[in-house]
Amino acid sequence: MVAEPAGPMLFNSIAYILFLLLTVGLYYLLPAEKRWILLLAGSLFCYGLFRVDYLLLLLFCVAVSYLGALKMHQSSDEGVRKRWLRTVLLADLGLLFVFKYLDFTYQSLVWVGGWVGLEMPAFVFNIVLPIGISFYIFQTIGYVVDVYWGVVEPQTHFGKFFLFVSFFPQLIAGPIEKAEDLMPQLERLDNRFRESDFWAGATRISWGLFKKAVVADNIALYTDVVFGNISFHQGATLYVALLLFAFQIYCDFSGYTDIAIGSARLLGINLSENFLLPYGSSTVREFWTRWHKTLYTWLYTYIYMPIAFGIPGPRGVASAVLATFFLSGLWHGASWNFIIFGLVHGFWVLLEAVLLDRMLYARLGSIWSRVVGVPVTFHVWLFSMIWFRTRTFEEAGLFLQNLVQGGSFEVLDTGVFARILLGLGILLVVEAGLVKAHTFQALYLKYGVRFCLGMMICSLFLLLLFGNSGGGQFIYFQF
């Protein structure tokens, strides 16, 4: 699949900041019953700037999910309810398959056919991947399944349901929200302007911009060179590039999430937390409760639990774990490299459950199990990042081959590396104190306006002084 080109309303653009300020100002001027119209119009405007025709795909997904949920709720016949559920799942997943996995599936069949001696014509579909499609389809599927299970009542107002799916802070790259958390907030929209929301939101946005422009985008100047020329680098250089990429993707994605959560907070709306110091995890299971938490929650709820309960005993648990992480990898991209990325975590989770928990961590005790487990878990993540960052089996194999050959570390560009070290140093100090949900609001309540204003000024000053102005779109936009 071909990634969608960047549009003019990226979170790290002046255009978005101006749009956000205008939207927030109008939002609090409008009566509560009209605010959903403003948010929906703004959301569709933002998304339409990328490609107007993809608004039709979003509308199709919303309409099918809206209608299917209502029909399921209105019927007491279980057979009818299941048919509507299957119809919605087929429509939503079919849309995702065509735009994200059709080309990958065909190329895999060509490869398998060649391996067994069955020749198939080479053909590339070159379908452009609609930006954010994996996120909003997962959100609609979660909503429809929750209605089927009776967890939530269906939304009868089409416009407000459309807003739930397309809400601009989280439409393109999450967090993937559950209807029971976000829908009631969008239903009311009667909140008054609160200083705590403003300062917490604005501070979080500035911190997200720092993470993206100062840390992630500067690291990209190093990692892009190394990963773009793997054959010319060895040993320590590759290891450092891998280590830096782990922080690049964290700051890129969590920086986006900070801006998303901060933007919604300016409107008095709470989005779900998505990161909680994941690199401090002592097991891979713990890691996935701290990294991209809303995706993990979705996969656990709608994939792991049905399989684990449907197949009794350890076989069901093992099947559920592998299926969950297989789909996690596939969700990230239509590539066997991404599937391997997911399965690395799946097999390690099983290894932890079967061997490490009993043979190692239980004997070490809680403190020493963390001392050992944190670096082990982090290096499992680093190993999986090889498959995440490289594009093909050949590239991943070459990376591993050159990594173990040894070789001294190459700085490549002293100025860039100095900015990287500065950004990482500030990141580690600040993030260590931001370990609870809604921390920025708590900081405002504890220390007041001066603290938040000071943090904003420092973040923006560092961004202007050391930020990479040539940084591109967020990594997770390609998913």
Residues involved in catalysis:
332
The answer to whether the CB of 383 falls within 8 A of the CB of 246 is: no
pLDDT of residue 356: 64
The answer to whether the CB of 152 falls within 8 A of the CB of 146 is: yes
Tokens of 387: 């498959």
Tokens of 237: 């250089």
pLDDT of residue 14: 86
pLDDT of residue 173: 83
Instruction: Say which residue the tokens 């699949």 belong to.
Output: 1
Q: How far apart (Å, rounded) are the C-alpha atoms in residues 249 and 311?
A: 36
Other beta carbons within 10 Å of 200: 24
The pair phi, psi for residue 2, each rounded to 5°, is -100, 130
Q: How far apart (Å, rounded) are the C-alpha atoms in residues 57 and 40?
A: 16
Amino acid at 215: V
281 Cβ contact list (under 8 Å, min separation 6): 287, 289, 290, 291, 373, 374, 377, 378
pLDDT of residue 110: 79
Distance separating the N- and C-terminal Cα atoms of the chain: 11
Mean pLDDT by 10 residues, the chain (479 residues): 50 88 95 94 92 91 96 92 95 93 84 73 79 93 96 94 96 90 92 88 92 92 91 89 95 93 94 91 92 94 92 87 94 91 94 72 64 90 94 90 81 83 90 64 76 87 82 67
Whole-prediction pTM: 0.91
Q: What interhelical angle do 133-149 and 54-74 show, nearest 10?
A: 10
Q: How far apart (Å, rounded) are the C-alpha atoms in residues 46 and 51?
A: 10
Q: How far apart (Å, rounded) are the C-alpha atoms in residues 139 and 174?
A: 9
Q: Please state the length of the chain.
A: 479
Q: Cα separations (Å) of 227 from 103, 391, 479? A: 25, 10, 20
